[in-house]
Amino acid sequence: MCGIFAYLNFNVSRQRRYILEVLFNGLRRLEYRGYDSAGISVDSALNPAHPPLVFRQAGNINSLVKAVYHEASVMELNLEESFPMHAGIAHTRWATHGEPSPRNSHPQTSDPGNEFLVVHNGIITNYEVLKETLVRHGFTFESETDTEVIAKLAKFIYNNTNEEGSSSMTFSQLILEVMRHLEGAYALIFKSRHFPHELVACKRGSPLLLGVKELNEKAMAEPSFNDTDFLSSNGQPKELFLSSDASAVVEHTKKVLVIEDNEVVHLKDGGAFIFEFDNAKGEHGGTSVRPASVQRALSVLDMEVEQINKGKYEHYMQKEIHEQPESLTTTMRGRLLRGGSCKSKSVLLGGLKDHLKTIRRSRRIVFIGCGTSFNAALATRPILEELSGIPVTMEIASDLLDRQGPIYREDTTVFVSQSGETADTLQALEYALENGALCVGITNTVGSAIARNTHCGIHLNAGCEIGVASTKAYTSQIVAMAMLALAIGDDAISSQARREAIIDGLFDLPGKVKEVLKLDEEMEDLAKLLIAEQSLLVFGRGYNYATALEGALKVKEVALMHTEGILAGEMKHGPLALVDETLPIVVIATRDACFSKQQSVIQQLHARKGRLIVMCSEGDAASVCVGGSCRVIQVPRVQDCLQPVINIVPLQLLAYHLTVLRGHNVDQPRNLAKSVTTQ
C-alpha cells in the first residue's frame, strides 16, 4: 500500500540537491502505491555525528518537494554541499494507522535525535503489544502508526546490547533481532546515525528489490552480471537503490536483485550483503552469532523508461486504456498457434504444460482474487466450465479466509492478481498450499510473491500498469484465462470447432479493440450528460455480468459516483424498485445466449420510464432500443466468451471522462492505492 525508496552513493560525489531529486523522483514513480503523505531523510552534514534531517508532509509528492525546499531555505541548508558517501531514504504513504499528517508520515524515528529511522510498507499486526512493552521501558510515542514501534524497538535493542557490553553488533545483526519480534507483512529500510553511510532492508510478504549502478569506466563499457562483481565491496564507485517497485529503479539501472521473504540486505562500503532470517537461530546463541552471507542470482529488468512515462496522454489511465490492442497482442504472443490446417490451431502455455493433466483430473477449479481480478475470473468462468467440464467456483480471497472455506487436495486453485502481491490473495494462497491443492498463479509481475509461490502459472505480459484503476491488466487477465480454458479443453474432440473459433477470435481481438476505442468522443459526450448524476446502475448477465461489475467498479473508483453492477436476472428481486425517470441505467445487451433475456429486461425498464443507455452489437440498435427512446452504444461483435474484453472498453472510457469532467484525479483516486499489500 505504500512505496519505499532509498538511494546510497558510494565513492562518487553527489550534491545534496542531486540526492534530494533522486529521492523525489523515486517517490514520484511509486506514488501510485500511496499519495496521502510522504517523507524523506538525508544527512544534515558530512559529519555523521550530526543527527540526520527528516522532512515529512501531508499530501502528494509535490507538496513534500515544496515543503523540503522551503524548510531548506529557512534553515539555510547548503543544497550544493557534496557527499562522497551518503544514504537517504524516502516514503510515500497510503494511510492505514492514523490520518494523513506529518507526524504519521514516514520516516518514523526512534527519538528526537533520530538515532534510528525506518520507512515501512505493510502492516505490523502485533504493534500494540510491542508498544505497551516499550512504553513500560520509558519510550514515548508521537504518532498513531504501527511503524513507530519498529524504530523504537531498534533503539531499545541497540541500547540493551551496549549495556551488556556487546558493542560489536553490526547493523544487519541488529535488524535481524528486530525482525524476531515483528509479526505481519512488511518491507523495511533502516537508516541510523550509529551506522553512517549504511542501509539495511528486510522484507516479509511485501515487495522489495535492490538495484546497482556501477560507475567506473570499465563496468560501463563491459557490463558484468557476475554475482561477485555485482554485490561485492570492491571500492568501485557505485549507486545503490532500494525500491518497492522496478519502476523507480529502471531509469537508473537494469541490474536488480529481487529480495526474497525473510532476507536482510545490508548495504555497506559499496557492497550488498544478504542474510537469511531464521527465527530459530539466536534463541540460544544470542545476537553475538554472526549469520553467514548468502549468494543470490541476478535479474535484468525487462522494462524501458518509456513504458512508465505518459507519452502523448494526459493521464496514465487514459494511456493504458488506449494501449490495450498492444497489451493484448503481447499477452497472446507465442501462445496461439495457427497454421494452414484446422488441426494446427492450438494454445501453448509453457508455464502450465507440465500440469495440464493434473488440472484435467481436478474435482473442481477454484478462482480466487479480489476486485478487478475477481471480475476477470468471473468473466471467464462460463467458457472454462464449457470447455473443461469441470465445476468452477469463485472465491473472494478475504471471504474464503474469513470462512476458512474447504479446499481439497483434488482441487486446482487459480490465484489472479495484477501485482502478484495482493495481501488477501497471498494469505489465501498459503491456505491452499497448506491444504495440498494445486496452485496456479496469473499475474502481471515477474518475480512477485504469487509468481514465486504457486506451482505453475501464466504471466500476463501486459506491460507496466501505473494507473490505480486497472484497465489493460483486466482485459489481459480475461484473455489469459480464456487461453487457460482452451489449453485445459484441448483433449476434447467434441469442442474442437468451438476452440478453433475462439482462437480465430483471439487473433482478431486486438483489431476489434482498436475499433471500439474510436468511441472515445462518444463516451466523452455521454459523460457530459452524466456529470451531475449521483448514481448509476449497470445491468449484465451471462458473460457480461462481470462486465457490469467491472464497469461499475471503474466508475465508482475514479469518478467517485455511486454505481452498482447488477445481475440482470435479479432485477425483479429488488433493484427494480430503484428505477424511475431520473436514474440512468446501462444495460449490456450484446449478442450471445442471453440476448433475448436482455431484450426483455430493456422492455421492463422502459415500461417504468427508466433512463436507458444500451450497449449492443453493431446493427442491433433497432432490436434493443424501444421506440428510439434510449441511447445506444454499438460495439463490434466477437466470440461470446471474448465479448467482455470489447464491452468493458466503453465503460473504461466513460469512467475516465466522467472523472476528468468532475475534476478528480484520474490516476490517484481518493482513499485508494494500486497494490493492496495490507489486509
Catalytic machinery residues: 2
DSSP three-state, residue 526: helix
Contact 63/23 with Cβ under 8 angstroms? no
Contact 272/228 with Cβ under 8 angstroms? no
Helix (H) or strand (E) holding 547: helix 545-554
Q: Which of left, alpha, beta for 234 (phi over 0: left; psi -120 to 50: alpha)?
A: alpha
* Residue 574 to residues 110, 143, 514, 548, Cα–Cα distance (Å): 55, 46, 38, 17
d(CA 197, CA 454): 38
Bond into 584 cis (ω within 30): no
Phi/psi for 246 (5° steps) reads -65, -25
DSSP three-state, residue 256: strand
d(CA 589, CA 616): 5
Contact 484/388 with Cβ under 8 angstroms? no
Which residues, including other chains, have CB under 8 Å from residue 62's CB and lie 6 or more apart?
none
d(CA 444, CA 464): 8
d(CA 629, CA 585): 13
Across 73-103, b (16+ Cβ under 10 Å) vs e yields eeeebeeeeebebbbbbbbbbbbbbbebebe
Contact 321/656 with Cβ under 8 angstroms? yes
Which letter does DSSP use for residue 117 in this model?
E
At 54, the amino acid letter reads V
